[in-house]
Amino acid sequence: MHDIDQALLPKHLANPLLQAEQLSYSYGNGQQALDRIELSIAAGDRLALVGQNGAGKTTLARLLIGLLRPRSGRVLYAGVELAGDQLRRARLEIGLLFQDPDDQLFCNSLYEDVAFGLFNRGLAPELVADRVRRALTTVGLEHLAGKPPHHLSTGQKKRAALATQLAMEPLVLILDEPTANLDPHQEQLLLEQLQRFSGTLIAISHDLPFLCELCDRAVVLEEGRIHHDYSLRELVSHPPSMRRHGLDFTFRFSCCGGHPEAPRQVPPTAAAAVQAEGAEAAPSQPLTGTVPLFQLRDLHYTYPDGTRALRGIDLTIEAGDSIALVGENGAGKSTLLACLGGIRLGRGDCRFHGNRIERKHGGELWRHLGVVFQDSADQLFCASCREEVAFGPEQMGLSKSEVARRVEQALCQVRLGGYEERVPLYLSGGERKRLALASVLGMEPEVLILDEPTAGLDPRSQELLLAILQRLPTTKILVSHDMFFIGAVTSRTLVMHQGKIIKNYLTSQFLSDKALSSLNQIHYTYKNRCCTEILGLDQGAYFQHAPDR
């Protein structure tokens, strides 16, 4: 605990509520995830666990609730080791919101999922019904109580998973990447809900502005060890510490003219690709005699439960376009990407290079398109990272030497060199996201489709992804709630609402349109996502320390 005044460190109570003593953990492949962790958490603490992807944050969270058993050391809850009756007590009193909501949603309806834990506690049906109703109302999903969770958008699933925990009325709430995949309005609602939570709170996130509103203490993990235990405000206002821990996000400000007080300037890469600002962008027009890359006419898609995800989409995309899809959770963005990628087939006319996208063309379409799913676990299935990246090029019939070249190049591109023999299952969420991108880059696709590409990535990985995409000459289509990323990568932004494209902007116009602050309660403004007000930093001092880029 050096490089910071000890007086600024949080003071711990003599009798912590949660305590880790010499806690170590290794996964089945021998990879050590945690090494002799010492941590005390007092009742009422609001603690942020921060660090780069793969630092051990999620592993620590699962040990604290007893989902994993330590290889050595121990966890104490209320002064008693987490085993036997005390483990059962902890699981009733500690709630964990998983990074991937699909890991904790498994019933036939949202109502049943939220009620599941309550019935297991033996609560009376009328009390269960009341708690379920209140929890779903709190997260804004009461109207979807009868819907199967797997038919929800990822952002809605995240809120549904939170409802399952809130209904249990826990004393301790552990959140793993709670804002990932949430639209700005839902993120703000989540923040307000958590600020009202009176228990002990532990949050894992790369969203430092969110953490600054929620927590007062920051524990930094690096390579499975606790390196520092700061007050959160001290950490974010000390640029050298931020950079040393891989938490520096000043690259985002450099994308918008070098300073957060220029929030409505378009990043240089986007500005070079667009015309002068004006009214809404006209749809992309093909060059004379050419066929559009994608052409959609009156495209509809309805899920088996009757949910109308797309309602009459008309869209033209030209080769070389760089397009963002934005909108509230459940607007139809991911469904539209799935239709473009041939993963889902809707009703209407959907063409790629002038040819209708049909199931019989799926075997040919994948050679041209690279899709990075919102949940990277949906596309990782091999036993090693090498096999994962090699799979696509091998299916293309490339030579062994060319496959090996592409594997090495793609893994190095996403900063996973040396991970060739690692098991994807044992990677962190952010590392799996980068591996999924590598598996697509190895195909050298004509079109790159990305669904929430920055969700769960630490700042260094976000900067790396930004650099990769800015260099790629391919057509890019992405869904994101990350306004910095959209501004730096795309030239055109489509706003979706209730399955329709309601606005078609130049990205420059989108970022400068003040009316967007209230559009469908999405609250998309460039300055909102800069979050300089939330951070409350001495910005002059911060940027005085910022390195030249």
Mean pLDDT of 517-528: 46
Q: Looking at the domain assignment, is residue 243 inside a domain?
A: yes
Q: Looking at the domain assignment, is residue 20 inside a domain?
A: yes
Q: Which residue range is the domain that position 95 belongs to?
A: 6-247
Q: Looking at the domain assignment, is residue 361 inside a domain?
A: no
Mean pLDDT of 487-501: 92
Average pLDDT, the chain: 83
Residue 261 identity: E
Task: Please state the domain count of the chain.
Answer: 1
Going by pLDDT thresholds of 50, 70 and 90, the confidence category of residue 220 is: very high
pLDDT reported for residue 289: 54
Sheet arrangement for strand 294-302: 308-317, 294-302, 347-352, 355-356
Mean pLDDT of 133-161: 91
Q: Looking at the domain assignment, is residue 443 inside a domain?
A: no
pLDDT reported for residue 455: 86
Q: Looking at the domain assignment, is residue 502 inside a domain?
A: no
Quickly list H helices, 198-291.
208-214, 232-236, 239-244, 250-254, 268-271
**Which pTM value belongs to this model?**
0.77
Residue corresponding to tokens 């991911």: 334
Write the pLDDT tens digit of every residue in 369-395: 999 988 888 899 999 999 999 999 999
Of 379, 473, 383, nearest in space to 433 by CA: 379
Sheet arrangement for strand 18-26: 32-41, 18-26, 72-77, 80-81
The better pLDDT of the pair 246, 336 is held by 336
Return all residues near 531 (Cβ < 8 A) that are at least 6 apart.
Answer: 209
CA torsion, ordered 115, 118, 119, 120, to nearest 10 deg:
120
Distance CA 245, CA 225 (A): 12
Q: Looking at the domain assignment, is residue 10 inside a domain?
A: yes
Decide if pLDDT at 314 tops 60.
yes
Percent of the chain beyond pLDDT 90? Answer: 53
Decide if pLDDT at 89 tops 80.
yes
Decide if pLDDT at 265 tops 60.
no
Residue corresponding to tokens 């690279």: 370
Distance CA 244, CA 301 (A): 47
Q: Looking at the domain assignment, is residue 152 inside a domain?
A: yes
Q: Looking at the domain assignment, is residue 259 inside a domain?
A: no
SS3 for 428-469 is CHHHHHHHHHHHHHCCCCCEEEEECCCCCCCHHHHHHHHHHH
What CATH number has the domain bearing residue 109? 3.40.50.300
Sheet arrangement for strand 200-204: 94-97, 172-176, 200-204, 46-50, 217-222, 225-231
pLDDT reported for residue 288: 46
pLDDT reported for residue 250: 64
In the three-class reduction of DSSP (H, G, I as helix; E, B as strand; rest coil), residue 234 is classed as helix
Least confident range of 146-155, 214-223, 228-237, 421-430: 228-237
Torsion 127-133-137-140 (CA) sign: positive
* 458 within 8 A of 398, measured Cβ to Cβ: no
